[in-house]
Amino acid sequence: MRIMRHVLDETDRRIAATLVASPRASWREVARCLGLSERTVVRRVALLYADGTLRATAVRNPARFPHLIPVALRIRCRPNKIRQVAQALARRTDTVWVDILGGGDEISTIFFLEGPEARNNLLLRDLPATDAVGSWTAHTLLRVFPTAFRWTAGLLSPTELAELAPDLTPPTTPAPSYTQTDVDSALIAALCEDGRATYTDLARRAGTTALTARRRLEALVDGQVLRLATELDLALLGAQTEALLWIAVQPGALQETAHTVSTHPHVRFCAATTGPANLVVAVAAADLDALYTFLTDTVGPLSAVTAIDTTPLLATVKRTGLIRH
């Protein structure tokens, strides 16, 4: 079994942050961005991927797949059974993330459910049949704000980040309709398994040429059909405190509030949801004091915020569709 790192030095942390910002950046691009030699980057990053400290993957954007229903669940469980329930949820192919929250009796998870029948089976059959589950609340994700995906633990300067990361500003007009082809399906499946697969490997999986595979991948990313991701334990980059914020916002100010929050360096995920709390925000900060400052200085002044429920993360079981070792 691969053994993930528990500590990274400053150079490894900056390399990892660069790959969070640009998951398929070439080693030459990483070296140029950080002022390192390409040989140093290749040597260090090979070890980080080999031991599973870094893992490359991809996540579909449910807004571009009309049949997908993105749902956030808060599940109350018996504390002595919570790890078993979390692990069972993580093994499901339709979960994207699974975290254990609060006092050890609650799980937060994101599902990408394949249509109404899958949603109804989960809520009306699977969860009620699980003895360890006491109650749950379900929140449909209405819109995910991609600017939050720029999180890099503050290890990259704004200039470095702008050089690497694409423009993640949400479009002002609706995206054109997207029809998934067999080639796209094969590419997406391959990228979810290995987000840094070579174009030759992708072409072989999709039954096409390397040039076509590259063009289709770029089209999928540029069209926000797919988000490439680098998965790692955020504590390795100095984020020792993670929390989920369930925020109630006046509807007329939801868009503006989400934009303000999602562009903060501590925010790694932000989405508008159904339910009494209509904004869910995932925060990764250096420590509890940094989290407190975020709540008082960033969220506090927002007049449209009427309530907030802050729940710390105790353990991560699955992230970006990958089960944690």
All domains of the chain in start order, with CATH: 144-151+236-314 (3.30.70.920)
Query: What 8-state DSSP symbol labels residue 54?
Result: S
Which structure tokens are listed for 185?
């399906």
Using 50, 70 and 90 to split pLDDT, how confident is the model at 172?
Answer: low
136-157 per-position pLDDT tens digit: 999 999 999 988 888 899 999 8
Using 50, 70 and 90 to split pLDDT, how confident is the model at 39?
Answer: very high
Percent of residues, the chain, with pLDDT higher than 90? 86
Mean pLDDT score of the chain: 93
Neighbours of 159 (CB within 10 A): 9
Pick from 6-10, 58-62, 204-208, 231-235: least confident:
6-10
pLDDT at position 147, please? 82
Mean pLDDT over 55-82 rounds to 95
Percent of residues, the chain, with pLDDT higher than 70? 95
Mean pLDDT over 280-294 rounds to 97
Mean pLDDT over 118-131 rounds to 95
pLDDT at position 150, please? 81
Mean pLDDT over 123-146 rounds to 94
* Burial environment of residue 26 by CB neighbours within 10 A (0 to 12, 13 to 18, 19 or more): exposed
Q: Does residue 175 have a pLDDT over 80? A: no
Using 50, 70 and 90 to split pLDDT, how confident is the model at 158?
Answer: confident
Instruction: Please report the DSSP string for 260-308 in residue order.
Output: HHHTSTTEEEEEEESSSS-EEEEEEESSHHHHHHIIIIIITT-TTEEEE
pLDDT at position 190, please? 97
pLDDT at position 163, please? 80
Q: Does residue 30 have a pLDDT over 90? A: yes
Cα gap 321→325, rounded to integer Å: 13
Q: Does residue 265 have a pLDDT over 80? A: yes
Q: Does residue 201 have a pLDDT over 60? A: yes
Using 50, 70 and 90 to split pLDDT, how confident is the model at 229?
Answer: very high
Which structure tokens are listed for 94?
């339709």
* Burial environment of residue 110 by CB neighbours within 10 A (0 to 12, 13 to 18, 19 or more): buried
Mean pLDDT over 118-124 rounds to 96
Q: pTM of this prediction? A: 0.90
